[in-house]
Amino acid sequence: MSSWQERELTDLAMRTVESGSGDEPIAVEPRFPPPRAAIDGDASLGWIRRMRPVLAARKGAFAFALGCALLAMLAQVAAPRLIMAGIDAVLAGGEALAPFVWALAGLALLRGLMTWLHRDWLFRFAYDLEADLRVLLYAHMGRLSASFYDRVQSGELISRANSDIRSVQMYLTFGPLILLNFVGFAFAFALMLAVHVPLTLVALAPMPVVLYAGWRMRELLFPLSWMVQARQAALATLVEENVTGVRVVRSFAAEQQQLSAVARATRRLRWASVSQLGVRATYAALIENLPRLGMAGVLAYGGVLALRGEVTVGAVVAFSTYVVMLQAPFRMLGAIALMSQRAAASAGRMYEVLDQPPTVSEREDPVSIDRPRGAVTLRDVTFGYDADRRILHGLDLDVAAGETLALVGATGCGKSTVARLIARTYDVDSGQVAVDGDDVRDLSLPSLRATVGIVPDEPFLFSGSIRDNIAYGRPDASLEVVRAAAAAAQATEFIDRLPEGLDTPVGERGASLSGGQRQRVALARTLLVDPPVLILDDATSAVDAVVEERIHAALQERMVDRTTIVIAHRLSTIALAERVALIDRGRVVATGTHRELLDDERYAAVLARGMTTGATTGGAA
């Protein structure tokens, strides 16, 4: 297991919360127990061997379930032999049948009890295993860097966290039980040999062909299973985008276009699914029906032997029962072949995510920011989202503790990128970003992100109430604190007009609110956690001028003794800052007050574009 995987498991085992007063972190016991083990980090191992630590952590429940299943199987195997003994005894000497009936009843009770226990414990194990895998995957996705989400579609991740994990769980749970049927086969085979060897060989004659059919089906199903899972994920992505982007689709009257895209993806999935089912139908028919030839052989050959007196009538009856019993594991070969290939494909897709190391991760002994002042420094910073396209080229910037600085520049010059690097959403390609003199790569991520708060221009809201969204960073915040943050963001103006006030649901991603309302809720959410470094990334771009002026007046009070970086396009926003830094082509090319920079042609050009954009687009309350 790699070091970052070990840290993931440790973090799951014990979370810490920090009080807003700057007290020491308080360890709190999680409400639900975390996974007891992680997936083996050695990618060279087979997928089941990599899963072994998670399985071993719950081996007690699984072993008990298997033990009960084995006892139920043995009771089932013993029943035909007992029937044979009873029939032969009654026919031979007229012995009473009652003892055999009571014995069969006892076996039936034993099998019923063991079946109930093994199913109860097995399903507990199955759902615990599924929960462990889902928590491990989700915890790892929470640690993956923003660059991972830049290139992976959300529908893919949803599919891997749901259907792929379910496929793995089903195989790891029911696969051993299916294989346990072959243990019953071995016992039945031994009992049959003890009665009559030639008749046993006749009964099992079709089985080699059945085994070959099962092996061949397994070979054909693997690529098809991978294809089905991948196309299910692609379809899920397409549907998710259409649902979340339904307003864009309708605004461009693109319903037919999107319907065609969904239909194409559905047809591709249908082809893969039908091909998979075709293979399964062909070979499953052979696997299920060939053993019946063995039953016909037993009845024909066994009848002749019984007439000759070489076997008893009870033996023929027992053999007929055993042949039916022996069909079960071979009939299940198709199911286990399909489950194994689907699970292997699903595990591979799941491991693709788990094997992604976080590009932004803590060092072994990170530094915690105990009493942040808020000084921010960038030295010779070079960065690009793609290796072939640099955004920043040797950028230098100093922001003193408690200072309010405006970052100004043309669209795409790197202003928002600077904010993301300070919060360490991404790591620099070269150079250094420091907070209070400490390189952000040396700081613990929780303490850094508790120090630096960003309000983006396109905020994301969760589909809960307005109060839940504002209190997201501090779920225990009182109603008074939430209302104070909302008031500072000038959000109470529209909140109080809503029928349910702060308890009004915002819909998926805040769909029931306007762009300006979403921005104010996001601003209140950040103000509530009271970060020492506040970054406003064009955070009032969708707000009208009157509301923006009131927000700025409230922010002036909040900015006292707080480091504030304002990414601005409007003059009204730039006026909040004590100093302005002009960014051009990935570098800071000028700094000074607004008045000092007015003589710079580049600065004047940026302001002119900003005023044109503001006059054209306006704002939404």
Nearest to 351 by CA among 103, 100, 617, 45: 45
Q: pLDDT grade, residue 109 (50/70/90)?
A: very high
458 versus 23: the higher-pLDDT residue is 458
CA dihedral over 93, 95, 101, 102, signed as positive or negative:
negative
Q: Are 542 and 514 in contact (CB under 8 A)?
A: yes
- Count of CB atoms within 10 A of residue 500's CB? 11
Q: How far is Cα of residue 72 from the mean position of the Cα atoms in its chain?
A: 37
Please, how many CA atoms are within 13 Å of residue 512, restricted to the half-sphere of its CB? 13
Nearest to 363 by CA among 436, 441, 447: 441
Q: pTM for the full model?
A: 0.66
Distance CA 449, CA 443 (A): 10
Q: CATH 3.40.50.300: which residues of the chain?
A: 376-617
Q: pLDDT grade, residue 116 (50/70/90)?
A: very high
Most confident of 86-95, 205-214, 392-401, 560-569: 392-401
Please, how many CA atoms are within 13 Å of residue 135, restricted to the half-sphere of its CB? 19
160, two tokens: 């891997």
Task: Name the percent of the chain lying above pLDDT 90.
Answer: 9
Q: CATH 1.20.1560.10: which residues of the chain?
A: 135-354
Statement: residue 22 has pLDDT above 70? no
Q: What is the mean pLDDT of residues 62-89?
A: 85
Distance CA 191, CA 184 (A): 11
Most confident of 55-69, 167-181, 309-323: 55-69
Q: Are 10 and 35 in contact (CB under 8 A)?
A: no
With a CB cutoff of 8 Å and minimum separation 6, the contacts of 159 are 229, 232, 233, 236, 237, 349
Q: Is 152 buried (19+), middle (13-18) or exposed (0-12) by CB count in 10 A?
A: middle
Q: What is the mean pLDDT of residues 78-93?
A: 79
Statement: residue 620 has pLDDT above 50? no
With a CB cutoff of 8 Å and minimum separation 6, the contacts of 498 are 466, 504
Most confident of 23-32, 222-231, 254-263, 342-351: 342-351
What is the pLDDT at residue 330? 67
CATH superfamily to which 135-354 belongs: ABC transporter type 1, transmembrane domain (1.20.1560.10)
Q: What 3-state class would DSSP assign to 556?
A: helix
Q: What 3-state class would DSSP assign to 386?
A: strand
CA dihedral over 342, 344, 345, 351, signed as positive or negative:
positive
Q: What is the mean pLDDT of residues 245-255?
A: 70
287 versus 618: the higher-pLDDT residue is 287
Statement: residue 396 has pLDDT above 90? yes
User: For domain 376-617, which CATH number applies: 3.90.930.12, 1.10.1040.50, 3.40.50.2300, 3.40.50.300?
Assistant: 3.40.50.300
Distance CA 286, CA 214 (A): 9
Q: pLDDT grade, residue 599 (50/70/90)?
A: confident
Residue type, 301: Y
Statement: residue 522 has pLDDT above 70? yes
Q: What is the mean pLDDT of residues 516-529?
A: 87
Alpha-helical (H) ranges within 309-357 are 313-354
Query: Cα angle at 320 between 318 and 324, to 5 degrees?
Result: 115
